[in-house]
Amino acid sequence: MATQSVAAAAVTTAHHEHEHHHHHESFWTKYIFSQDHKMIAKQFLITGFTVGFIGILLSAIFRLQLAYPDTNFPFLQTILGKWAPEGRLDPNFYMALVTMHGTILVFWLLTGGLSGTFANLLIPLQLGARDMASPFINMLSFHFFFWGTVVLMASFFVETGPAAAGWTVYPPLSALPQGMPGSGLGMILWIVALVLFVVGVLMGGLNYITTVLNMRTQGMSPMRMPLVVWSLFTVAVLGLLSFPPAVAAFFLLLFDHSLGTSFYLSDIYIAGQALPQQGGNVLLYLHLFWFLGHPEVYIVLLPALGITSELISTHARKPIFGYKVMVYSILGIAFVSFIVWAHHMFVSGMNPLLGSIFTATTLLVAIPSAMKIFNYIFTLWKGNIQLNTPMLFAIGTVSFFISGGLTGFFLGVAPMDIPLHNTYFVVGHFHLVMGVSAVFAMFGGTYHWFPRLWGRMMNERLGYLHFWLTYIGANLVFFPMYYMGFGGVPRRYYAFTEFSFTSQWQDLNVFITIAALITIAAQLIFVYNFFHSMFYGKRAPRNPWKATTLEWSAPVEHIHGNWTGNLPVVHRWAYEYSKPGAPVDFIPQYISDEDIARGVRWWEDDFDPSTVIDRTEPGEGEKAPSTPETSPVPALSLNQKPDLPQV
């Protein structure tokens, strides 16, 4: 890749030397300490997928344990050493695997990876900005994320193993090193990793919000923004409001764990010994954690649904149905997500009256969610549907959002949740509605924007194979879990051999494990396709999907500043597909009615958008940031060097 990019950069330099300043970039400034949002998007994408793949491999190990609890697998000892003596998984390490699987996939893949990739790639490019508001803080955002990843992975190699109290790390188990091995150093590393991760996410979020509010190109009014930008913006606001209280919870947990406080601890006996901690309150942790934890579900889901909106509209060749409703439903979901958190706590011993209030607010989420589903279906209705890989994955997202979301009704209502709580019903529900559906959107987005990132297409045949194996596989893995959940099978158990009400599902567990292993193996197709296409894929035209949004008007080469000449000026909304009277079924946002009358042929593969973009006046964002009216030195020019008198 390096040689190609260098060659591409050289070509660009030759072409645009007179108008564009090029830095001499070393390997370090280009790939490691890059301040270019496109490179940072690639960093997030590859780090997210790599760590996500590790997270999925962890599930392969614990699925083997659940299906064959009495079998020795000598290869496990080869991989895990003392955590699998004679090939039998250690129960403590089983808990660690479950915990790390959840942490990695919820936070690292679906929060950092998903938002980090697509917000970095799409916000500046789709809004017509040269880069993020602060490229430097954007770089730091990735580096905090990356070092959080390193700390989290390092916890696999400490003596007592990684954190093992579940991905929610409830005290007292997580706060007492004597409680289980995983609550030792592994727990401290977990908290450190999470804090680094949150700092990274927040730095990114500050940039996303500021870029959306301040850096849009001329003509890009809020109601012309693509829906994916709306969702990424909303998610950044959600993160900004909900992550800091969780950090507060983690700090107090760390103090309880290591500094002898008792914020969460009270009346605890371990092995007959009474602990000195008194007066703490576990419910406090649950409230603080789920005040993040529930918005977190939408931090994962909203970007996925935003990507789906782009994909469905583009590949159905139809404007998105009910654009304004989509915007308001994103905002509505975001608002409601802040007042539903206690539906995770119906059995925690909190006041039952509070439970009924949170049941009512939880059911409210169904309204904006249903509006979105309705709009997706009506966008597809009578569309000229192109069933390519991105479209398949987008429809897959909607399908899982429906099948997983409907089971949310059961869990959102307190009397139904009480028997189903902590059973496999919950596992099936959240894996489908937020896990698989968001992963599908991430895959769809990757297939769709791969030509924008690397200038090459991914292989369609392999894409189909990847889609169908994953789609069928994910259903075979997670649907049976609903039955097990109704049967009362609890989650996070090491083995189901002891009780007949759980052991009766053993055959189903074997079935799920086999389906899971096949599905996991199918991801290798994607890995191969991803890296092979990066180097040897078919060269992509400038606008391979014939899409309307601005990212396809910029050259794909690694150019800091995105557009070689002017910034594009926006003349229409983001979904001008199949407009009656138009010469073709899409009109890009930067094409004005005059350009159409002038006979510009934007649909041809060799069309150069800069011929249109550079004709117009420089956009608003082109001018140097002007001094706001509140500037303390309105009378002075900003460009004079020192004008304080030298004393």
Partner 1 sequence: MASSVTRDKIRLHPKELMLWLYLATTAMLFAGFSSAYLVQRFSEYWKSFPVPFIFWINTVVLLLSSVSLYWAQQGFRNQNPWQLQIGLMATLSLGVIFLAGQVAGWQVLVRQGLFLAGNHKAISYFYVFTGLHAAHLVAGLIVMGYWTYKALRYQVSSQSWLGLRLASIFWHGLDVLWVYLIVFLQLNQIL
Q: Which residues bind partner 1 (CB under 8 A)?
A: 133-134, 137, 202, 205-207, 209-211, 213-216, 218-219, 221-222, 240-249, 251-252, 255, 259-263, 276-281, 283-284, 287-288, 291, 617, 620, 625, 628-633, 636-647
* Minimum CB distance to partner 1, residue 225 (Å): 11
Which CB sits closer to partner 1, 249 or 477? 249
Structural tokens at position 212: 């959306």
Work out the number of other CB atoms within 10 angstroms of the CB of residue 276. Answer: 8
Nearer to partner 1, 500 or 637 (CB): 637
The least CB distance from residue 279 to partner 1, in Å, is 3
> Which is closer to partner 1, CB of 524 or CB of 636?
636
What sign does the dihedral 85-89-93-96 (CA atoms) show? positive
- Helix or strand or coil: residue 231? helix
Residue closer to partner 1 by CB (options 259, 597) is 259
Min dist. Cβ of residue 337 to partner 1 (A): 15
End-to-end C-alpha distance for the chain, whole angstroms: 55
Please say which residue, 132 or 340, places its beta carbon nearer to partner 1.
132
Pairing of β 273-274 and β 269-270: antiparallel
Please state the closest distance from residue 329 (CB atom) to partner 1, in A: 21
Q: For residue 546, which phi and psi values (nearest 5 degrees)?
A: 50, 55
Q: Which two tokens stand for residue 543?
A: 């606008």
CA 215/CA 621 separation, integer angstroms: 6
Strand positions, DSSP E, 157-271: 269-270
* Pick 209 or 427: Cβ nearer partner 1: 209
Q: How far apart are CA 155 and CA 93, in angstroms?
A: 12
Nearer to partner 1, 40 or 202 (CB): 202
Helix (H) or strand (E) holding 269: strand 269-270
* Residue 580 beta carbon to partner 1: minimum distance, rounded to whole angstroms: 25
Give me the least distance between CB of 209 and partner 1, in Å please. 6
Given the complex with partner 1, which of 236 and 612 has the nearer CB atom? 236
Residue 508 neighbours by CB distance under 10 Å: 17
Nearer Cβ to partner 1 (386/631): 631
User: DSSP letter string over 23-46?
Assistant: ----HIIIIIS---HHHHHHHHHH
Residue closest to 351 by CA, chosen among 408, 266, 414, 411: 414
- Sequence-distant (6+) residues with CB within 8 A of 172 are 179, 264, 265, 268, 282
Smallest gap from Cβ 128 to partner 1, in A, equals 12
Residue 293 identity: G
Which of the 8 DSSP states describes residue 270? Answer: E
Q: Least separation, in Å, of the C-beta of 202 and partner 1?
A: 6
- Residue among 17, 20, 49, 6 nearest 447 (CA): 49
We find the least distance from the C-beta atom of residue 258 to partner 1, in angstroms, to be 10
Please, are residues 548 and 582 in contact by the beta-carbon 8 Å criterion?
no
